[in-house]
Amino acid sequence: MRAVVQRVSAASVTVEGQVVGQIGPGLLVFAAVGDGDGEPELRWLADKVVNLRIFNDASGKFDRTVQDIGGAVLAVSQFTLYGDCRKGRRPSFTAAAAPELARALFAQFVTLLRATGVPTESGVFQASMRVDAANDGPVTILLDSAKTF
Q: 131, 134, 135, 133: which is closest to 15 by C-alpha?
A: 131
Gyration radius from the chain CA atoms: 15
For the question of residue 6 being annotated catalytic, the response is no
- Of these residues, 30, 55, 79, 109, which one is catalytic? 79
C-beta separation of 75 from 109 below 8 A = yes
For the question of residue 78 being annotated catalytic, the response is yes
- Of these residues, 6, 14, 55, 78, which one is catalytic? 78
For the question of residue 125 being annotated catalytic, the response is no
Q: 20, 9, 2: which is closest to 128 by C-alpha?
A: 20
- Positions annotated as catalytic residues are 78-80
